[in-house]
Amino acid sequence: MPLHDPHGRHIRKLRVQLTDACNFRCFYCMPEGTRFQPSNRLLSPEEIGDICAALETMGVEEIRVTGGEPTVRPEFDAIMEKLARIPWKKFGLTTNGFLLSDKLPLLRDLGCGHINVSLDSLVEGKFRTITGSAHFQKVHAAILRAKAMGFQVKVNAIVFRGINDDELPAFLDFSAEHGVEVRFLELMRVGPAIGEHDERFVAAREMMDRLGATDALIPVESPNDSTSFGFRTARGARIGFIASESKPFCGACSRLRLSATGKLRSCLFSDTGVELRGRDRLDYPEILQEVMALKPTGRLPRIHQPMNQIGG
């Protein structure tokens, strides 16, 4: 049965945060000195499997696993195995790529075919400045390996003025050369990024104008609840823009989010939701109505909670 919120939006996607912990320290995502949830507060693999299976029977069609960094969760394999038993229309993972290479055979066997890797720079030194990690090469290699193994791979790159906005053409070349779609994200006013926003924000319109100066951008159709709008170029690049700030997609948003501790929430920008831990499955229809009723109709301006805690 399709799920609809009180405003008629078809709710069909679920983001599941496996942990708020991460092995990177992206300056825009995680505040200095962040403390992570103790492991005993996190949903167990069984709880995650049970909750997600229940939500699928109620109409959720697609699932994407995220974090923090999902691959650092010690029970990552067990959780993915449980999620793979549920008949999703689409099963995906969002990762920083550091531990990805070793996970690829498992992900292929489990049918988790849609992998988004965050890579904000193609320059090793800048990558280190942005993420606090010295392992650019490892992430780069994992992306190419995933592509070679037949995964649907997308690279997500946030564009920051004065840091990596000069790399727009290089990302286009990367996409054309490797056949990997690159999606350029606008910096959102979330957590530590709020303080960076005035200085660093670049609107998708500007990115398109700058890219369009050298390569004609040919529009590509995307689903109406897609968060990005896409283009291809004559040289074979495929790019998309996630313009959450300048062109919010709230009117067509189809997402719910499950936090690592079990809170079901309806919006990235709102920390309200309902705790699912310990709740009876028979209560789920009522809980879902309650959560969907909390879904804002328009874009909230900002959220102070950091992205690694929200589950990006």
Q: Give, as one character, the DSSP assignment of residue 30.
A: S
| AA identity, residue 276 | L
Strands 255-258 and 263-267: antiparallel
- According to the binding rule CB under 6 A, does residue 188 interact with ligand SAM? yes
**Position closest to ligand SAM via CB:** 312
Distances (CA, A) of 272 to 122, 132, 166, 198: 37, 31, 38, 27
123 to 182, contacts with ligand SAM by CB under 6 A? Answer: 156, 158
With contacts defined by CB under 6 A, name the span among 2-10, 23-31, 162-170, 211-219 that binds ligand SF4.
Answer: 23-31
Strands 13-17 and 263-267: unpaired
Strands 62-66 and 90-95: parallel
Minimum distance from CB of 158 to ligand SF4 (Å)? 9
Quick one: tokens of 197? 């926003």
Contact 292, 280 (CB under 8 A): no
Per CB under 6 A, the list member of 3, 18, 26, 288 interacting with ligand SF4 is: 26
- According to the binding rule CB under 6 A, does residue 28 interact with ligand SAM? yes
- Angle among Cα 303, 308, 312 to the nearest 5 degrees reads 75
205 to 244, contacts with ligand SAM by CB under 6 A? Answer: none
Per CB under 6 A, the list member of 51, 190, 237, 287 interacting with ligand SAM is: 190
46 to 105, contacts with ligand SF4 by CB under 6 A? Answer: 67-69, 96
Strands 114-118 and 218-220: unpaired
Residues forming contacts to ligand SF4 in the complex (CB under 6 A) are 22, 24-26, 29-30, 67-69, 96, 118, 131, 307-308
Residues forming contacts to ligand SAM in the complex (CB under 6 A) are 22, 28-29, 66-67, 69, 94-96, 118, 156, 158, 185, 187-188, 190, 193, 307-308, 312
